Structure 1
Amino acid sequence: MAAWIEKHLSSAGKEVQIKSVAQAIPTYIMSVFQLSSAVCEELERGIRNFWWGSEKGQRKTHWIAWDKFTRSKDRGGLGFRDMKMFNQALLAWQAWRLVAFLDSLCARLLKARYYPNGDLLDTAFPSVVSPTWKAIMFGLELLKKGAIWRVGNGRQIKIWRHAWIPKPISLRPGGCIRPCRLKWVHQLIDEDFRCWKEDVLRRFFYHFDVEEILKIQINQKAAEDMIAWHYEKTGLFSVRSAYRLGVRLKELEGSSDSCSANPDGARPAWKKLWKLPVPHKVRIFAWKLI
């Protein structure tokens, strides 16, 4: 189809085909199994060659790095998927189901097999496991970076081990100022007045953690602690927010050039470009020029 595409399909049409066909077909299999890096790279290579086209059987020059294509449109990219990261986000959803639906048959079966006496988010697993559990472990790596304990009575949350402080990236305490024997969050709460023991917080925590902890509202009814997804207001997991988190963390690890004033790296100029009242192929052309 290469010759026909070069003559009759614009860049905007290629974008639609990539997102609605090439990236949609593997979604089901990626939500069940962990694809190898080689398979993900092969899928992305096919998409890159399709986007840039070919001439007389020879591929054309790829003028822009693939990492820029996988950025969202408000961050200077075209919103194409990083296949490996999308695979991990889909598998993180499977791991979330084991946390959110503890009474399901699947959750009870896997718990009895792999972590009978522990917690899914706080257990080390063996390296030799079934392909199914290996895929869940891959998604679990991403889930752990966004799952947070919502404080109720504080009796299930370990102060220094669990993620429970709502911060932009790291959800655990930044450290301890001096030796501390306190272990559980409920030891930081005044049970009579249902408020934080501010003097205790300032004695053991760094000031930036103290400010975030004091913002947490203490439940007056002393409800049970619960696990939530930090990057959604509802507290419910979504593949979209997990994928964005994974991409953001990958860029931070690679020291990417995210020199934006906004925390998520979005820039108003890009948003204005994609909202212009012109045909989409014109916006794509303007994006290429920029």
Structure 2
Amino acid sequence: PQRGHTILQHVAELINPVTGSWDSELVNEIFWQQDARTILAIPLLEDFEDIWAWHFDDKGRFSVKSAYHMLREKQEQQAKRQVGEASDQIEKFKWSEIWKCCCPPKMKHFLWRLAHN
């Protein structure tokens, strides 16, 4: 990969899973020398989860807009996860119960749409 252009998304991907230390070869390949030295000097702590950090935009600038896009991306990923969880619940739901309700058809339709989020 070219410096500054990589497909890595998590800090954990820069850590050697066997040794539990920085993958110095990968860090040196991806980052500029000064940045790589700084990264490799950071002590690694075990059992820490990756967190979202405010990333710069396409022009290398930090802006409210870049933070907004990062937040929207995170929300979309969470929504996809929730839809996956909801689809499991939807499969268990007895749809025939909605259609058996003693209410106007438009209410049945509304309940069906509500159940599908």
TM norm structure 1 = 0.16
TM norm structure 2 = 0.37
Greater RCO (CA < 8 Å, at least 6 residues apart): 1
